[in-house]
Amino acid sequence: MLIRAFHDLDREVVDRLLAEAFSGPQPGGSPAASPPIEVVLNAALLGSVEFIPELALVAELDGAVVGYCITTRGWIGDRPALGLGPIGVDPGVQRGGIGSALVRETLRLATVRGEWVVALLGDPAYYGRFGFVPSTDLGIVAPEPAWGAYFQAARLDPGETPVGTFRYAAPFEAF
């Protein structure tokens, strides 16, 4: 498997991959939107000022793109932070470590950049293995309090963590 930077030429395959990864029933059993929200959100993030090109990654197997994740600028108060997502893996190769590799590489690159925290909305049982904890454990309030323990953060810098409400990149506000 190869993890590399996303390029504009990957756009069509990434849109298709996200559509397939998020086309099944959603939490609570409701049907997915068509196209899934993640496809529309990702397009908006790629065109936003909060887009960080080196934190948009694809995973390749035998030359085919099978995984994708994007991490964009977010904030806690007026302090820069990162928001991870959407992340998706081709349903035909899920549970093969591709998503894990994308998350690990994202965290590594964010650390190298000198970032101090990454936040996301996701399953605590999955993301806990990468050092994510409920954001409230770090004094970070979710944009939507109902998210509870599903809104998580990983501290990359052991220094002080500012307390406050996390704000995603502007395109998230439309969803």
Query: Which tens digit of pLDDT belongs to each residue from 141-158?
Result: 999 999 999 999 999 988
| Residue closest to 10 by CA, chosen among 52, 63, 62, 48 | 63
Domains and CATH numbers, the chain: 2-174 (3.40.630.30)
CB distance 117 to 132 below 8 Å:
no
Compute the distance between CA of residue 165 and CA of residue 66 in angstroms, rounded to an integer: 34
For tokens 């997502």, name the residue: 85
Q: Is the pLDDT of residue 175 over 90?
A: no
Proportion of the chain in helix, strand, coil states, percent, rounded to 5: 40, 35, 30
Give the pLDDT score at 28.
Answer: 54
Q: What is the pTM of this model?
A: 0.92
Q: What is the dihedral of CA 37, 38, 41, 46, to 10 degrees?
A: -160
Least confident of 22-36, 73-87, 95-109, 150-164: 22-36
Q: Is the pLDDT of residue 73 over 60?
A: yes
CB distance 75 to 120 below 8 Å:
no
